[in-house]
Amino acid sequence: MKKSIEKYLSYLNIERNYSRHTITSYRNDLLQLLDFIAEEQQIIPMNVELPSVDRLTIRLWMGELSEKGISRNSIARKVAAVRSFFKYCFKRGYVQKNPAHLLIVPKKEKRLPVTVTHSDIQNMMELADDNTPEVQQERAILELFYSTGIRLSELVNLDVNDVDVRKSQVTVLGKGNKQRVIPIGGKAVDAYKKHLKTRPSLLTDTSENDDKKALFIASRGGRIYPRKVQRIIETYLTKTSEVTQKSPHTLRHSFATHMLDAGADIRMIKEFLGHTDLNSTQIYTHTSMERLQKVYSKAHPRAESNI
């Protein structure tokens, strides 16, 4: 079973272009299941045979996760990983029956996206106002995130040529190797142009060909990596906002929510975000409605009840 897991993870990486974070999560989930099965069968994990896994065993594992107090969202993700893995194995003939085929995924707890205000965004951009190459790059990263709502994995994989200044658009490669083109605002285009002028000084003698194509560069001259970007976003949001979640995804959420607040069609936002299902985008309507209700309560003279 362990060899099949490694083949599956390689498939997600090479053929499906899943993010490093997702692959790491799936690996942990599947190895956790493997350890549980090994303990049930009283053998070492390396000796667990894939055909020996049945639906009852997986359900017992899910029950144990619940008893340990694991959240429904985490269990849902783990079950999704297991279902995807066994679907892969069944299609390739590694198993004759798919034990996860009828497995029910627990309903996720609905959490509204964390967003920052327009003024927080403005303060963040003003803070990134310096002529040094490092800060020019940071400003370009901030502007591009907020202007397009792209994912962290999509940003770090951007090359210089992926941005078309003339058409004011960027081409990104999303989940499942799906390419999409997103318009970018004037502020982001300006930040991109300024970054492009100082970008060569961020490259070093050790920069390889791929690094020289990369839009954003790390401190040692290589292509920027996810943790570096996360630290940049966290630093700026800490200084300008009181939100609890300080991550690139916060800017993605803010992009979608602010667009919706301004009257953008939700189907258009779905395309910008690269969602395959409109249900994934619908959550932003709840955030916008919550904001509208707060505004209404403050502004309308007869909003409050006397009862």
Does residue 69 come out as left (phi exceeding 0), alpha (psi in the -120 to 50 range) or beta?
A: left
Asked if residues 95 and 89 have their Cβ atoms less than 8 Å apart, the reply is yes
Assigned token pair, 132:
């040094």
Q: How far is CA 231 from CA 85, 143, 228, in A?
A: 32, 16, 5
- Which residues does the annotation mark as catalytic? 151, 175, 249, 252, 275, 284
Of 115, 268, 278, the closest CA to residue 181 belongs to 268
Assigned token pair, 304:
């409050």
Whole-angstrom distance, CA of residue 257 vs CA of residue 277: 17
* CA Rg value for the chain: 23
Q: How far is CA 78 from CA 35, 61, 99, 131, 268, in A?
A: 14, 10, 15, 46, 31
Strands (E), the chain: 163-164, 169-173, 179-183
